[in-house]
Structure formats: C-alpha cells, structure tokens
Structure 1
Amino acid sequence: MNFELKEFTNIPNCYHSFNVVNDSQFENTCENLIKEMSFFFKQASFEGLKILNPNPIEKIPQYFSSNNLIYLNVRDGIRESQIIYQLAHEMCHYFMSTGIKNDELKYFEETLCDLSSHFFLRNKPQKIHKVYDDEALMNITEIDLSSSTSYDRYNREQNTYIAKLLLPIFEKNPSLWSEVPKLANIEASTIGKLLDLWKNKATSEHKKAIQEIQNIFK
C-alpha cells in the first residue's frame, strides 16, 4: 500500500496518511485528540511521528517505537469513536516511548493504554463514546488482583477490568497522565515494586493518587 505522507495542518513534525474518502475529517479527529493528549501528558513535540491507516501488516492498530509509527485500522474517516478509541491507545504507548521494561509487567502498560481509550472517549459527547466505553466497562467480569502475580499482557478482559478500577482515579486526578511516561524508566520485578518506585519518582501532588492505584493490587 502506498502511503503519501502529509504533515498535520496544525501539528509540526507529525505526519499522516489515511487512505480514506474523508481524509480531512479523519485528520481533524486525530489532530484534536493529539493536542488534547499532549496537554495531559505534558509533551509538546512529536519528533516525526507518523500515523498511517489502514495497517497493511495486520488488521489491528499497532505502535512501533523504533520508527515512531502508529498504524490505525479504520475503514473510513467518519467513525470518530473508532478513531479516538484506537489512537488514544496507541498514543499512550507513544508517550511511554519504549514502554515498561519488564515483559511480565507489560500488562500494566496495556492496561494504561486501554484506560487511555476510555478516558479520552469520556470527554466526548455521549453519542460518540457510548458504544466503545460504557458498555465495555459495565459488562466486564471482576477478577481478584494481586501485587505478586504476573498477568497476560494481551488479556483484554483482564486489562479492561483493571482500567475500570483506574478510571475514577484518573478522572479525579487527570494530571496523573503526566506521570505515566516515567514508568518506562523503572526497573522492577513485580507490580508492587513498579508502583512503589513510580510513586517515589512522582511529584508530591500525584503520590496520593498512585497510592490509590497501589491499593487495587492486594
């Protein structure tokens, strides 16, 4: 597939190629979300980030840190909720750069990226977020969490359940997103140690919120 890169109209050094009929609407939806997330994550520059659609490799959204590349997989440019849901997840990976170091704790990164989808959809009108947000969270199965257990990175039901528990913490403390990139620079063997070290790195205003996250993992 031929991707003809174009710079975003209002975001320097950030490029896109969508291969859809409604290219301008697709660009506008992505641009608004990127700017919103940039505010919460406290990152203003994008170092040649490329957002391409659709994914020619696998029919799923993906982020490749090695070349600052995000693939979305949206059939046209008018599915605003689908664009936001996918891009918010992959942009969270992008803001975390190389991601959490320990593979056994990658599930927490996936959980935060799942949370990002729900969080940023919730800032949109009900008609936009209801299909991807409320229904998924309301129907998720409860699981017993432990600070000493390693979970499957790609267990979406498990990750969505943890995201459901994290959502009110982040909604109450939205500036906590600015602390998330710090997780990529922490060496830890368990989620308990990861969260403890994260809290130590966090600014004083966010330590209480991270303690609330620690309380989720018994």
Structure 2
Amino acid sequence: MRLPLLISSVLFWVVLTPSANAVSGLAEKSSKTRKSDITIRVEDGGWGEADTEEVESVLHAVADELATWVPVRLPISIVVSHTDREPMVLYEKDGTGEYRVRLHANDRRWGEYVYEFAHELCHIMSNYDAHRSRDSRKYNQWFEETLCETASLYTLRSMALTWGSAPPRPGLEGHAAKLKAFAQQLIMEEHRNLPDGTPLAEWLRENEEALRNDPYLREKNEIVAKLLLPLFEQDPENIDSLHYLNLDPAEARADLQQYLHAWYDNAPARHKTFVASILKLLGVETPLGVRAHAKPAAPQYPEGGAGSAGQAGPSKH
C-alpha cells in the first residue's frame, strides 16, 4: 500500500498522551472486550513516542472492526514490526505459523496505524497467500489491492464514529475527529475521481491491462476503491465476502470476469447480491445459475493461520 505521509497529515496528528493512571490495567481490560480471536503481538523498536502496548490496543481495535462482520472465528496470530519502507504483509510466516506484518506508521499518529493495518489485515482475510508459488503471478491482485484500500477507508470512517465514546484506550477520545478528517482528506484527493463523463466500466476497459501488469498503481486502485466504499458502508456485513476470494488455484491467472465469477460462486447466498453489485459496477456480467466448477470450501483458519510457511518473498502490499 502507499504511504499517506503528506506534510499536512503529519502536522495534523497532534499527540495526545494518556496519564499514567489511565494506562495502568488497560491490557487486561482490552483483552476482555475484544470481539475477535485475532492475536496481535507488536515487536519493540521504531514506534517513536508510542509504546508497544498503545500500538497493540489500536491494532486490536482495527481487527475487531473488521472481524466483527465475519461469522466464523479467525484464531490467527499476527506479529507486527516497524519498517522504514512500505507497509506489507509477508508471504512467509515465522516458525510458529504467525503472519508477519510490517507497518510504517510511528509516534501517535493513530490514523496512519489504522489505515495501514486495515489494509494488511484485509489481505489476510482475503486469502492473499493461497496458491502462491515462486513462478506464478496473480494477475487480478490489483482488485485485491483495491478492496484493501476500501477496507482502510471503511475502517477509518467507522472507527471515527466509535472512538468518541468507546476508544480502545482512555485518552484517545479526542482522536475520533482526527480519524474522520484523515479519511476525508484521503477520499477528497483529486486523483481518486474518474475523468469527467467517463463511466467506471469504460475507464476499466482502458486501464485493466496496466493494472494486471502492475497491481500497485495506487492512484488507479484508489479510483475504484472510492467507488466501492459506499457499497461496504451500506451493508458492512458484506466485509465477510472477502473471505471467499482467492480460493481456486486457477484464479491467479484468470481474466477479471473469471476471477469475479469465482468470487460470486464461492460466496454464500447472503453475499451474492453484494458481489453481483460490484460486478455490475465494474461492467462485468453476472453469472447466471450455478457454474460448473467445484467450489472450494472457505478456509477455517486453524490455529496458526491460513496458508503455508516458506512461500515466496514479501508481499508489497
């Protein structure tokens, strides 16, 4: 994902430091109120003025925000470390099967933590590491990148509504307005708008080849992400539909229509209308009836997470 490190956003994140009394006992309280089974461990180093306990609290809040819409439990473990480079989730897990996520955010600019971690968690939820090998390319990865940008915007806006009265830690109430303003700043960026008079389906026909060749064309991804955001905000329970992406090995090299048809087919009935609305927005014909290929079951995330250790390199998400 790209780094939203504009000067204006850095200046905007005024540090609010909770008192020592407020900090005591927060870890126990936080563990009792979590909605998800996602375990997050933050490694020391690189977080600037923020300590690891603060960072963990915010990242757990992000996990709760997204995982609350997933009806199956996600008993996965994630180790988070700081990086001076782009945020990413690695394809290779550590020896205990934990996902490894690297974030660029530091100090107490909590909006950047939310934005970055929601994106990487979205990749994990959408089976980013399924069927990955050293000699394969995921030609529709741009769409996954787009969905994960949408997840970041959704999480920022949703948490802005809850932090005022229910922040993950005492002392963060004042950051609710900052999350909202940061999300608005991103959404209003000029490059996120389609050219005047150009429907998305037409724009996609002109840009899909470039996106298939380079899924990290952020300014193009973000055009589509902005248009998908209202669909998720209208019915957030469809965040669970991400769980049904990338289940078929053939999807890695499929064309966009085949890829989206596989998503539609694998999604349970409660999500088909939603997925069909995305297909329609993108100008992709909705499949009629039941398609012939077998539908792989959605992964159940056994202890330690999805996928297998030792797969190819870091994912530049």
Please, what TM-score do these two structures have when normalized by structure 1? 0.84
Give runs of aligned pairs for residues 166-181 of structure 1, distance below 5 A.
166-181=228-243
Distance 1:108 1:69 in 2: 22
Pair 1:145-2:210 in alignment: no
Give runs of aligned pairs for residues 1-218 of structure 1, distance below 5 A.
10=31, 13-19=39-45, 20=47, 21-23=49-51, 24-42=53-71, 44-52=73-81, 54-55=82-83, 59-67=85-93, 68-76=99-107, 78-99=108-129, 103-125=138-160, 127-138=177-188, 139=190, 140-142=192-194, 144-146=203-205, 149-150=208-209, 151=211, 152-186=214-248, 187-188=250-251, 189-218=254-283
1:105-157 Cα offsets, whole Å, 9 max, x none, are 00001001111100100113362334542232232231612399331300111
1:143-188 Cα offsets, whole Å, 9 max, x none, are 6123993313001111111111111111112111112121121333
Distance 2:123 2:71 in 1: 15
**Which of structure 1's runs of 4+ aligned residues deviate more than 6 A?**
none
- Aligned-pair RMSD on alpha carbons? 2.4
- Which protein is richer in helix relative to its size? 1
Paired residue total: 207
Runs of 5+ consecutive residues of structure 2 not aligned to the other structure: 1-26, 32-36, 94-98, 132-136, 161-175, 196-202, 284-317
Distance 2:128 2:267 in 1: 19
Q: 1:120 to 1:13 in 2, by over 3 A?
A: closer
Q: 1:173 to 1:86 in 2, by over 3 A?
A: same
> Would you say the 8 A contact 1:85–1:132 is kept in 2?
no
Greater Cα radius of gyration, structure 1 or 2:
2
Q: In percent, how many aligned pairs have the same letter?
A: 22
Cα shift at 1:61:
0.7
Higher relative contact order (CA 8 A, sep 6+): 2
1:74-123 Cα offsets, whole Å, 9 max, x none, are 221x1110110000001111222334765210000100111110010011
Runs of 5+ consecutive residues of structure 1 not aligned to the other structure: 1-7
1:185-207 Cα offsets, whole Å, 9 max, x none, are 13331111211221122122211
